[in-house]
């Protein structure tokens, strides 16, 4: 896998997590730990993207 395609995949995963976080925050039954976990995953991806760019 080339660096470019790897970065694109990471960005796609980051966007997917962003959407999941938004949905979880709107859902009344979602607990804060789930939201925090999603946000941590999203942050790790963002840091990886920045490191590789």
For the chain, the straight-line distance linking the first and the last C-alpha, in angstroms and rounded, comes to: 15
pLDDT of 1 over the 90 cut: no
Q: What is the pTM of this model?
A: 0.87
Mean of the pLDDT values across residues 24-44? 95
| Cα–Cα distance, 31 to 9 (Å, whole number) | 28
Confidence (pLDDT) at 8: 96
User: C-alpha dihedral over 53, 11, 23, 35, to 10 degrees?
Assistant: -50
Neighbouring CB atoms inside 10 A of 27's CB total 10
Q: What are the residue ranges spanned by the domains of the chain? A: 3-52
């Amino acid at each position: 896998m080339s660096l470019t395609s790897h970065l694109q995949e990471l960005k796609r995963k980051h966007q997917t997590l962003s959407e999941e976080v938004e949905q979880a925050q709107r859902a009344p039954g979602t607990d804060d730990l789930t939201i925090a976990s999603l946000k941590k995953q999203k942050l790790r991806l963002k840091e990886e993207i920045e490191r590789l760019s």
